[in-house]
Amino acid sequence: MATRLLIHGTVATMTEGGAAYGLIEDGAVLLEGGRIAWAGTTSDAPFHDRPEDLGGRLVTPALIDCHTHIVFGGDRAREFEMRLLGASYAEIAKAGGGILSTVTATRVLDAETLARQALPRLDALIREGVSTVEVKSGYGLTIADEVKMLRAARRLADLRPVTIVTSWLAAHAIPPEYENAADRYIAEVAIPGLRQAHAEGLVDQVDGFCEGIAFSPTQIALVFEAAAALGLPVKLHAEQLSNLGGAKMAAGHGALSCDHVEYLDADGVRAMAAAGSVAVLLPGAFYTLHETQAPPVDAFRRAGVPMAVASDGNPGSSPMFSLLLALNMAATLFRLTPEEALAGATRNAARALGLSDRGTIQAEKRADLAIWDAAHPAELSYRIGYNPLAQRIHGGIDA
Ligand code: DI6
Ligand code: FE
């Protein structure tokens, strides 16, 4: 692979501890063998016979969407209508709609079809400079259908130049055949299915939905113990609609992240800080569900809990397939600074996925970069419904 030198860029390295955004004015980046070899000012750059002049454009690490459900069948436009006519998300779920209607639509599709149908959603992210996407199961709810979903997720990485990280989310909802038998579902589907999917190399991490309408901390803990036995990291949808102490339980299992966390209390913040868990903020779901309680952003700052921002792209609570819009919403709805928002879709998103090889522009990191028709990194969360991406580099290659 050719060595590339990018010069005359405004380079937001997103490294910690120095200038805001780790910004290098009139910066340069050297790429070698799919990795970043060096970053600094253009005047300090090593010799290259054909440098690429960025004309002052902004360079950031490629974006990372660390929480999505982009593999699914069908859509939920009808429920969107019902909610606007007054039904709540939890009421719709209890009436067999919600997640379960997507389960019905997902079970009838094969892995290849699921992957093909996810492509427009994935492409929307890629067009915004996203280079790493986490994808969850959770709409199959049988062993075979959950495994199928992760096969579809893996397939996406053959179809597009992107890194896919998979999460086993069988503990997402209780399927009709296990109504009032959540414990049995955990024992018969969520745990043995995890072992099978892991044996097939399909699982990178393990997730759950800890909520009144889903699973209790005790039930999720059993899945996490099975994950630990397989050496898999865990994360959790926690404290989205109520406070069940899920984040604290997950932190006790060394969770990479606790996601949503609108209803998290001080105890939960402390537990996450002690465990080094990332708080993944999902303003698309907050917005779609007309939530009013914002996550405890100030408490996260004070406790030093890193914050990530993701799309939560899914057919129900966050039919949003734009990470740039998530950044804008994180700033406007949750009052993250533009620097925190961008760190949330780069450095801290990488951390939420346990990936130490990306998320900043530094020697040794993957050469995953986004180049923007923008002069300052605050522009990425400032505009609404506007995509300034000029060029995306995935593993050193324009793609
Ligand atoms: N929380 C969410 O926001 C998504 N899953 C979850 O546990 C919603 C999934 C859906 O409504 O289809
Ligand atoms: Fe989610």
Mean pLDDT over 253-272 rounds to: 98
Mean pLDDT over 43-67 rounds to: 98
Atom of ligand 1 nearest to the CA of 240: 1
The closest alpha carbon to 249, from 198, 283, 293, 208, belongs to 208
DSSP assignment letter at 188? I
Is residue 91 over pLDDT 90? no
- 316 CB under 6 A from ligand 1? yes
Protein residue with least CA distance to atom 2, ligand 1: 317
CA of 314 to the centre of ligand 1 (A): 7
pLDDT of residue 334: 98
Mean pLDDT over 157-186 rounds to: 97
Supply the pTM of this predicted model. 0.97
Atom of ligand 1 nearest to the CA of 285: 3
**Mean pLDDT computed over every residue of the chain:** 97
User: Partners of 39 in the beta sheet?
Assistant: 29
Mean pLDDT over 104-115 rounds to: 98
Mean pLDDT over 286-301 rounds to: 96
pLDDT of residue 94: 79
pLDDT of residue 121: 98
Least confident of 77-81, 154-158, 322-326, 351-355: 77-81
Confidence tier at 341 by pLDDT (50, 70, 90): very high
Protein residue with least CA distance to atom 6, ligand 1: 209
Is residue 93 over pLDDT 90? no
| Pairwise CA distance, residues 64 & 310, whole Å | 8
Protein residue with least CA distance to atom 8, ligand 1: 317
For the CA of 211, the nearest ligand: 1
DSSP assignment letter at 51? P
- 246 CB under 6 A from ligand 1? no
pLDDT of residue 2: 86
Judged by DSSP in three states, 30 sits in strand
CA of 354 to the centre of ligand 1 (A): 22
pLDDT of residue 78: 87
Mean pLDDT over 75-94 rounds to: 87
For the CA of 72, the nearest ligand: 1
Amino acid at 205: Q
Q: In sequence order, what are the residues at sequence separation of 6 or more whose Cβ sits closer than 8 angstroms to the Cβ of residue 77?
A: none
- 102 CB under 6 A from ligand 1? yes
pLDDT of residue 92: 87
- 215 CB under 6 A from ligand 1? no
- Which of 312, 320, 321, when mutated, tests ligand 1's pocket best, judged by the most ligand atoms within 8 Å of its CB? 312
CA of 209 to the centre of ligand 2 (A): 8
| Pairwise CA distance, residues 43 & 30, whole Å | 13
Name residues with Cβ closer than 5 Å to ligand 2, which is an ion: 312
CA of 163 to the centre of ligand 1 (A): 22
CA of 311 to the centre of ligand 1 (A): 11
Percent share of the chain, pLDDT over 90: 93
Confidence tier at 211 by pLDDT (50, 70, 90): very high
pLDDT of residue 83: 85
Is residue 217 over pLDDT 80? yes
- 209 CB under 6 A from ligand 1? yes
pLDDT of residue 12: 98
For the CA of 173, the nearest ligand: 1
Amino acid at 333: L
| Pairwise CA distance, residues 203 & 86, whole Å | 38
Atom of ligand 1 nearest to the CA of 89: 11
Protein residue with least CA distance to atom 10, ligand 1: 316
pLDDT of residue 95: 78
Q: How far is CA 358 from CA 48, 228, 305, in A?
A: 24, 24, 19
Mean pLDDT over 246-257 rounds to: 98
Mean pLDDT over 305-319 rounds to: 97
How many CB atoms are closer than 10 A to CB 247?
32
For the CA of 315, the nearest ligand: 1
Helices 191-199 and 217-230 sit at what angle, rounded to 10 degrees? 30
- 319 CB under 6 A from ligand 1? no
CA of 262 to the centre of ligand 2 (A): 13
Percent share of the chain, pLDDT over 70: 100
Is residue 96 over pLDDT 80? no
Radius of gyration of the chain (CA): 21
CA of 122 to the centre of ligand 2 (A): 16
Protein residue with least CA distance to atom 3, ligand 1: 317
Is residue 323 over pLDDT 90? yes
CA of 318 to the centre of ligand 1 (A): 8
| Pairwise CA distance, residues 10 & 21, whole Å | 11
Least confident of 82-86, 145-149, 287-291: 82-86
- 175 CB under 6 A from ligand 1? no
Which structure tokens are listed for 279? 């708080």
- 312 CB under 6 A from ligand 1? yes
